């Protein structure tokens, strides 16, 4: 499939998802358009997430039923490597959750799963752009997102937080300002 085809599938799926009915409280959930973007991206073959986004089939079905009832969703079947740090990344996110809603739990699982990808985290998640990921992080994990004061690349930032919590120090320099790897951690995510 070429890039134009992917964009057409993405746009059609996104429109169908956002047009789905449902209870007003769920329609206004600010995570709804972000989840719709990830699902549309997965349907278009973007990102690295499996067809249940890392939630497992039962929880993903629950998500669809609650946020996008009645919308036919056809996702790309694919496997994703289960990384050994998956549970720790999930815990890091949940320890900093900004609200008690189930959508923060979904997001923690999905974001941790996407860390297995090889691209920038917003791309691995199948989102449309980095701004959507920044919004996701502030919306669901604000105490953690607020610590990213230098606007570090999100995947680098999560791993740096995880390593610091585990007492692992892998950075080659004592501070970011004097580090030769600075562009790798803070450069544009495009
Ligand atoms: S810029 Fe260097 S010191 Fe800062 S997080 Fe990246 S690797 Fe570590």
| Residue 190 token pair | 């495009």
Rg of the chain in Å (alpha carbons): 17
pLDDT at 96 over 90: yes
User: In 3-state terms, the chain is what percent helix, strand and coil (to 5)?
Assistant: 55, 0, 45
Q: Which residue has the tokens 């609650």?
A: 66
| Residues comprising the chain, all counted | 190
Distance 41 CA to ligand 1 centre (A): 30
Give me the pLDDT at residue 39, please: 98
Task: Give CA–CA dist 31/142, Å, rounded.
Answer: 14
Mean pLDDT of 46-68: 95
| Residue 156 token pair | 């680098």
Q: Which residue has the tokens 């499996």?
A: 50
pLDDT at 29 over 80: yes
Query: Does 96 contact ligand 1 (Cβ within 6 A)?
Result: no
Global pTM reads 0.92
Domain borders along the chain are 3-186
Among candidate residues 28, 16, 141, the one with its CA nearest the CA of residue 72: 16
Query: Does 163 contact ligand 1 (Cβ within 6 A)?
Result: no
pLDDT at 106 over 90: yes
Mean pLDDT of 30-43: 97
Q: Give 125 or 70, the one with higher predicted confidence.
A: 125
Average pLDDT of the chain to the nearest whole number? 91
Q: Which residue has the tokens 């892998």?
A: 170
Tens-place pLDDT, residues 116-153: 999 999 999 999 999 999 999 999 999 999 999 999 99
């Amino acid at each position: 499939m070429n890039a134009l085809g992917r964009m057409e599938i993405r746009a059609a799926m996104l429109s169908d998802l956002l047009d789905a009915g449902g209870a007003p409280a769920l329609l206004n959930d600010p995570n709804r358009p972000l989840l719709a973007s990830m699902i549309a991206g997965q349907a278009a073959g973007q990102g690295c997430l499996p067809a249940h986004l890392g939630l497992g089939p039962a929880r993903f079905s629950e998500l669809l039923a609650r946020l996008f009832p009645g919308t036919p969703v056809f996702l790309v079947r694919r496997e994703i490597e289960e990384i050994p740090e998956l549970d720790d990344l999930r815990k890091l996110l949940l320890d900093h959750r900004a609200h008690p809603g189930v959508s923060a739990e979904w997001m923690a699982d999905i974001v941790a799963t996407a860390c297995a990808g090889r691209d920038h985290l917003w791309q691995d998640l199948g989102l449309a752009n980095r701004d959507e990921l920044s919004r996701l992080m502030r919306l669901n994990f604000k105490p953690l997102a607020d610590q990213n004061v230098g606007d570090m690349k999100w995947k680098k930032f999560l791993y740096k937080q995880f390593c610091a919590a585990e007492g692992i120090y892998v950075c080659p320099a004592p501070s970011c300002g004097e580090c030769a790897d600075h562009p790798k951690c803070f450069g544009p995510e495009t």
